[in-house]
């Protein structure tokens, strides 16, 4: 019986129609380039998200995040030393503005109370709203965008563990004001049992900035209305003002949050081969149905 793959004069093999591999002169077997590209294309193709799966993965991830964040050793002495080093460095380069903002805003009671509630609630609520909006209106981009957020959060956990940092309001002798305690605002992590279940030295990087930047970029890139895009651009700026005014973060914590987000976008870019917001709005099957209709 004839060999189904015959040797040619050049030493290569000719495969019958439909074959997905060829045999080289040294006998090694190579995968057809087109087949490999097909696999990569399938892996990079956005899929329609499922509600039950997203609720499960978000719920489990948030529970794990809370457990790990609060399991980080609360090394007060180390965290305070790190905070003092950052504060000294910021002042040496002439950018230690947090103290002035903290003292300037604190006497304006309605403003600082609003900022306290902003800090305690909006970073979570707005992130959830943007996730839901993506799920409903941009299902093809939802999964990759959600992955950016998850990578950012898990990188922050590594930062909490490796670099415990006291917030400015807990830095002895620096003169920062704890605006939540002074104005008896709901949500202080030092009030009641909250002080026992929340790690107060997980300030670097700032997830308030990481999450708000993610929300802002997503809204600016995908929202149709100009006023929404303006609000999206202002949201992380407002968050930066809030976290420094309330004595919860140095601006360098904010820079750390931005770095984590950048890494998240970079990883997802290499996975999908393009920027998250340049992916198809709808998964391919849905796009085909829309064209057919």
For the chain, the domain total comes to 2
Lowest mean pLDDT across 18-22, 78-82, 179-183: 18-22
> Which residues span the domain enclosing 90?
50-292
Lowest mean pLDDT across 30-34, 65-69, 160-164: 30-34
Round to whole Å and give the CA distance between 112 and 242: 9
Domain contains 108: yes
Mean pLDDT of the residues in the chain: 81
Q: What is the enclosing helix (H) or strand (E) of 100?
A: helix 98-105
pLDDT reported for residue 77: 87
Domain contains 45: no
pLDDT reported for residue 23: 46
Domain contains 172: yes
* Stretch 188-217: mean pLDDT: 77
Round to whole Å and give the CA distance between 78 and 222: 42
207, 266: one domain: yes
Under the banding of pLDDT at 50, 70 and 90, the label for residue 290 is: very low
34, 100: one domain: no
Most confident of 160-164, 185-189, 261-265: 261-265
Domain contains 1: no
187, 267: one domain: yes
Most confident of 39-43, 78-82, 182-186, 229-233: 229-233
31, 76: one domain: no
230, 149: one domain: yes
197, 58: one domain: yes
59, 128: one domain: yes
166, 279: one domain: yes
Domain contains 68: yes
Domain contains 255: yes
pLDDT reported for residue 76: 84
195, 123: one domain: yes
For residue 130, which of 248, 18, 228, 4 has the smallest C-alpha distance?
A: 228
Lowest mean pLDDT across 27-31, 71-75, 151-155, 270-274: 27-31
Under the banding of pLDDT at 50, 70 and 90, the label for residue 91 is: very high
204, 272: one domain: yes
For 177-197, b/e burial (b = at least 16 CB within 10 A) is bbbbeebebeebbeeeeeeee
Domain contains 164: yes
Rounded to whole angstroms, what are the CA distances from 288 to 53, 283, 284, 291?
A: 24, 9, 6, 5
pLDDT reported for residue 56: 76
* Stretch 241-246: mean pLDDT: 96
17, 95: one domain: no
Most confident of 43-57, 181-195, 262-276: 262-276
Question: How does pLDDT run across 95-148, given as a tens digit for each residue?
Answer: 999 999 999 999 999 999 999 999 989 988 999 999 999 999 999 999 999 999
pLDDT reported for residue 286: 46
pLDDT reported for residue 255: 97
Lowest mean pLDDT across 50-64, 169-183, 253-267: 50-64
59, 100: one domain: yes
DSSP state of 15: P
Under the banding of pLDDT at 50, 70 and 90, the label for residue 28 is: very low
pTM for this prediction:
0.78
Lowest mean pLDDT across 6-20, 45-59, 82-96, 273-287: 6-20
Under the banding of pLDDT at 50, 70 and 90, the label for residue 201 is: confident
């Amino acid at each position: 019986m004839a060999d189904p793959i015959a040797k040619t004069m050049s030493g290569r093999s000719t495969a019958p129609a439909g074959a997905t591999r060829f045999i080289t002169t040294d006998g090694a077997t190579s995968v057809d380039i087109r087949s490999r590209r097909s696999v990569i294309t399938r892996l990079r193709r956005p899929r329609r998200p499922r509600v039950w799966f997203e609720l499960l993965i978000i719920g489990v991830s948030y529970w794990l995040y809370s457990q790990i964040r609060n399991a980080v050793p609360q090394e007060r002495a180390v965290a305070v030393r790190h905070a003092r080093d950052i504060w000294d460095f910021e002042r040496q380069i002439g950018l230690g503005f947090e103290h002035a903002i903290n003292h300037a805003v604190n006497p304006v009671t309605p403003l600082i109370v609003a900022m306290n509630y902003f800090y305690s609630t909006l970073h979570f609520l707005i992130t959830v709203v943007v996730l839901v909006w993506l799920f409903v209106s941009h299902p093809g981009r939802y999964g990759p965008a959600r992955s950016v957020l998850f990578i950012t959060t898990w990188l922050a956990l590594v930062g909490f563990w490796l670099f415990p940092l006291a917030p400015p309001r807990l830095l002895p002798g620096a003169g920062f004001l704890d605006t939540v305690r002074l104005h008896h605002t709901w949500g202080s992590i030092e009030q009641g049992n909250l002080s026992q279940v929340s790690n107060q030295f997980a300030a670097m990087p700032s997830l308030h900035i990481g999450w708000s930047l993610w929300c802002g970029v997503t809204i600016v890139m995908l929202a149709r209305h100009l006023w929404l895009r303006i609000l999206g651009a202002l949201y992380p700026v407002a968050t930066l003002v809030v976290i420094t005014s309330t004595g919860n973060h140095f601006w360098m914590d904010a820079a750390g949050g931005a770095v984590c987000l950048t890494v998240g976008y970079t990883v997802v870019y290499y996975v999908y081969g393009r920027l998250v917001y340049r992916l198809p709005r709808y998964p391919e099957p849905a796009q085909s149905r829309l064209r057919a209709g």
